[in-house]
Each structure stands twice: as C-alpha cells, then as structure tokens.
C-alpha cells in the first residue's frame, strides 16, 4: 500500500493542467482564491473510484470542476448585484442605519405650488338630438247633435252622429273627416302655420300649454280664452283686450282669423280648431297621410333646437342643478357650452308592479337621472342631428386658490395631510396642510408656510 503522501504526489503528477486537486473524502468547500491556490481556496471532493470501476480519466474531471467554479462565480455575481440594488433603494439602510448619510436626500421629483382656478367636474355620456318627442292627434270636427265638448272616452270630443247622405264610408260612420294635407318630415312649424288639414280646413299651431278643449264664444271665460286672444294678438289681429274674457270684440277678431284661414266666419272657436305647443316645433315623423281618416296620430314632433340628453348615474346627482354649466364635446372634437335646463325623476319613481323581476327592474331604473341641457350657439353644432357626445358637468368652481398635484400629499401620523417642502439645501421638511377642492389631478391646499411658487416633493 502507498502512504498518504505518496498518493497525493501521484495525484499531483497525473492531474492535467487546470484540474482541481483531489483530496480525501470530505465536504465540498470553497473560499479564498477561486483558483484553489491557497489554503482558503482549496476545493475538496470525494476520492476517485478505484481503477477498474469505470471511472473516466483525462480532462473530464477538469471540465466538471470548471463548471462548478463557474456556477459559484455566477451565484456570487447575482448576490453582489442584489446587494447593490438593495443599497440603491435604501433597503439596506434608512433612518435606522448606523452608517451616516452621505448628504441631504431630496425627493425623486418636485412640483410648484400654483395659484389657479379649480373646477370640480365629471364627464358623462350624452346624446345630441332634438329632445323629447310628442304626438299630435287629430280631433274629429264637431257636427250634428253631439256636444262638441263631450268626452268620447278617447280623449277627443265627439263627432257628429249618423252617416252623411250619400257617403256610406267609414269616415262618415265615425264622424272623422279626411286628412287632406300633412307637412314634410324635418320641416319647422311656427305660430300660425298649418299643422295638418282636414276636409280642406287648416289646423294651425298656437303657442301655449293649454289645449283648445271646448267651444269658446261670447261670454266664455278662462285661461284658454286668454291663450286664444294672445295668439290672435301675436298674429296681428287687433280690436280686443287680451284677458280671460271672450268679448264681442274677441268674436270679431276670431271671424277675421277664420276668413284668412278659409273657414266659415262664425266668431266661435271649436275644440281642435288649433293645436297648441309651447314653441315652434319640428316634424320628426308622419303617422298618417292625405286620404286617411282624421283620427288618431297625425305626426310626431320635437322642439326646433338641438339639445343634449343625459342619463346621469345617481352617484353624481349632487353635482347638478338647474343652471349647472357644462361643456359638450362633439364627435369631431369641437366643444360648445351648454347648461342644464331640466332635471327629471328616475323612471322607477312611480314604483314597480310586482315580483322579484319587477323589483330588479326598479333598482336598475333608479340608478339614472334624466337631464336635458340646452346649447346656446346652435351653429357650432354643425350638421349633427343625432350623435353621441361627451358632457363635462362643471359642478363647482374655486378661483384664485393655491394647489398642488394630488400625489404631493403625504398622510400624517395621527391623521391629516402634509406636503414635503424642498429647502434651499435640497432636503425636505413636512408642512401640514388643509385640503379643499379636488379637480383635474390637483388639490387646493391651505396652511401656515404654504406659499405660491414653493417647491414640494412628488413621486417620480
């Protein structure tokens, strides 16, 4: 048997250049010189198998050793990189570190305290159009022995009784006349213009919110009399006083109007002799045509000016009131000013019928609130008649306030907020602030030491 010293010398002679030294069995260690030249750099492994065991010889052990050495170098490199990263981010130091800071540490970025005007707003979806649609229904002319003001149960006064001699048609059976003229879709109807014609007689538009629902003649009194007289006055008829009393002078003016309309001059106004609306109307769609019986729907109409309709989410209800200003953005990017003129009630305010399904439907409907906005400069709307728009509701405005970006705020221990004022030396000091309005990424701040132009820290 050979001695330990002889075995080591034999291994040393047979070890190829660059190969690791083979040591007796023991743990794998590494340290000091990675080449294994010194005591701390020796890399020991188990003794090679005896001859005849099929163990490889030559450069193969060297290749394996080089792989091990490379793996150790990679691990060390990763560790060094990780430590450098932690040091860069402060994870290895901070206020509790025993090492003194190299110098004042400023914020990652800064922003200035600015004096500005803040407007609290919310952008919602809207639809540009002509507003609510209403339907005009024909009223059968009064004739025969029926009281022209009697209710037929259909919302229209009763027509004549029986069949007209020689006609034999359905129109005569019901007392309804024949539609002889209708306007074009998209046309505008103003005060005094014809809405439709029945049996050759024109039915004009009067402005007002009370329909002509009864016969008006000498001695009649009421708001509908005043409505009639006001419209006759606006159309140029004179000689009477606009009040709630139908006088002989009123009858004379009515006769003159009837003559101009091509009607029989009776001085008496029958129910349905004119259609009333609050203002000029635009014909949205026709529901009948010349030759049809004058009963039921004649046409649908809207206002003449384009408006914006919004179904507002209930969570924003406190942002709006009648008069709230808004900015409307059209599909082409153009913006126009608008104003809230009408706030409706949730569709489900009247309640739901029954069942779980009904309850669910009510909940869904209550989540929105209908709004209508007017646009003063109609010409800026271009040719859009029905288009989706963005509506910026301007709920409140604060002028001449000091503001900073919202991300400049720092929560204080115990409650409240502060900003980090950047000093001349580059360090920061905490300045407590009171918060005001939030708008467009900014927040209004007040407090001792808060000044316009002051530099504060913000995240980068």
> Tens digit of pLDDT for each residue in 222-241?
999 999 999 999 999 999 99
- Find the mean pLDDT for residues 371-387: 95
Beta bridge pairs of residue 228? none
Query: Regarding beta strands 387-405 and 296-303, do their DSSP bridges make them parallel or antiparallel, or are they unpaired?
Result: unpaired
Using a 10 angstrom Cβ sphere, with 0-12 exposed, 13-18 middle and 19 or more buried, the burial of residue 57 is exposed
- Over 60: is that where the pLDDT of 36 sits? no
E-strand stretches of 108-251: 109-112, 114-129, 134-138, 179-181, 188-189, 194-198, 201-207
Side-chain-facing half-sphere of 108: CA atoms under 13 Å: 6
Least confident of 17-31, 193-207, 297-311: 17-31
- Over 70: is that where the pLDDT of 303 sits? yes
Q: What pLDDT score does 366 carry?
A: 54
Q: What pLDDT score does 440 carry?
A: 84
Residue 247 in contact with residue 265, Cβ under 8 Å? no
- Domain limits, CATH 2.40.30.170, in the chain: 307-395
Q: What's the token pair of residue 26?
A: 């023991």
DSSP string, 82-113: HHHHHHHHTTT-STT-SSPPSS----SEEEE-
Q: Provide the CATH number for the domain formed by 307-395 in this structure.
A: 2.40.30.170
- Over 80: is that where the pLDDT of 353 sits? no
Compute CA distances 319 → 94, 256, 274, 315, whole Å: 45, 53, 41, 9
- Over 80: is that where the pLDDT of 156 sits? no
- Domain limits, CATH 2.40.420.20, in the chain: 109-117+398-458
| Residue 107 pLDDT level (bands cut at 50, 70, 90) | confident
Q: What pLDDT score does 256 carry?
A: 98
Predicted TM-score (pTM) of this structure: 0.57
| Residue 336 pLDDT level (bands cut at 50, 70, 90) | very high
200: which residues sit within 8 A by CB, 6+ positions away? 180, 262
Edge-to-edge strands, sheet with 275-277:
179-181, 194-198, 201-207, 275-277
**Which CATH number fits the domain 134-145+156-161+170-303, given the four candidates 3.30.200.20, 1.10.101.10, 1.10.8.870, 3.40.50.2300?**
1.10.101.10
186: which residues sit within 8 A by CB, 6+ positions away? 282, 283
Closest CA to 296 of 306, 305, 287, 284: 287
- Domain limits, CATH 1.10.101.10, in the chain: 134-145+156-161+170-303
**Which CATH number fits the domain 109-117+398-458, given the four candidates 3.40.1190.10, 2.40.420.20, 3.40.640.10, 2.30.29.30?**
2.40.420.20
Phi, psi of 303 (to 5 degrees): -70, 170
Beta bridge pairs of residue 398? 118
């Amino acid at each position: 048997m050979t001695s330990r010293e002889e075995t080591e010398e034999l291994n040393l002679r047979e070890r190829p250049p660059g190969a690791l030294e083979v040591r007796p069995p023991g743990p794998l260690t590494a340290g000091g010189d990675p080449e294994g030249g010194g005591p701390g750099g020796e890399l020991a492994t188990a003794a090679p198998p005896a001859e005849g065991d099929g163990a490889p010889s030559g450069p193969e052990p060297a290749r394996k050793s080089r792989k091990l050495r490379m793996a150790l170098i990679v691990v060390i490199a990763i560790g060094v990189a990780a430590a450098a990263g932690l040091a860069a981010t402060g994870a290895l130091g901070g206020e509790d570190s025993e090492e003194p800071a190299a110098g004042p540490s400023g914020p990652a970025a800064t922003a200035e305290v600015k004096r500005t005007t803040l407007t609290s707003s919310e952008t919602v979806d809207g639809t540009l159009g002509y507003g609510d649609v209403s339907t005009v229904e024909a009223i059968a002319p009064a004739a025969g022995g029926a009281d022209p003001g009697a209710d037929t149960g259909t919302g229209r006064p009763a027509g004549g009784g029986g069949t007209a001699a020689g006609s034999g048609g359905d129109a005569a059976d019901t007392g309804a006349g024949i539609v002889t003229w209708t306007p074009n879709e998209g046309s505008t109807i103003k005060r005094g213009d014809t809405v439709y014609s029945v049996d050759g007689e024109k039915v004009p538009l009067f402005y007002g919110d009370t329909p002509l629902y009864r016969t008006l003649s000498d001695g009649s009194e009421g708001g509908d009399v005043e409505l009639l007289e006001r419209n006759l006055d606006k159309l140029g008829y004179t000689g009477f006083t606009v009040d709630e009393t139908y006088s002989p002078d009123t009858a004379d003016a009515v006769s003159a109007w009837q003559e101009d309309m091509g009607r029989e001059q009776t001085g008496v106004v029958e129910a349905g002799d004119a259609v009333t609306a609050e203002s000029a109307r635009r014909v949205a769609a026709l529901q009948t045509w010349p030759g049809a019986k004058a009963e039921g729907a004649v046409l649908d109409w809207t206002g003449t000016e384009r408006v914006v309709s919004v179904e507002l989410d209930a969570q924003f209800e406190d942002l709006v009131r009648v008069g709230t200003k808004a900015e409307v953005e059209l599909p082409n990017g153009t913006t126009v000013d608008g104003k809230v003129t009408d706030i409706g009630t949730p569709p489900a305010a009247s309640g739901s019928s029954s069942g779980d399904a009904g309850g669910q439907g009510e909940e869904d409907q209550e989540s929105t609130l209908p709004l209508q906005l007017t646009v003063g400069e109609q010409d800026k709307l271009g040719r859009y008649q029905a288009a989706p728009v963005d509506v910026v509701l301007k709920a409140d405005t604060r002028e001449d306030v000091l503001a900073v970006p919202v991300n400049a705020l720092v929560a204080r221990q115990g409650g409240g907020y502060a900003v980090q004022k950047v000093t001349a030396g580059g360090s920061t000091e905490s300045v407590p602030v009171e918060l005001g309005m939030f708008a467009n990424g900014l927040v209004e701040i007040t407090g001792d030491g808060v000044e316009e132009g002051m530099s504060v820290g913000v995240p980068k």
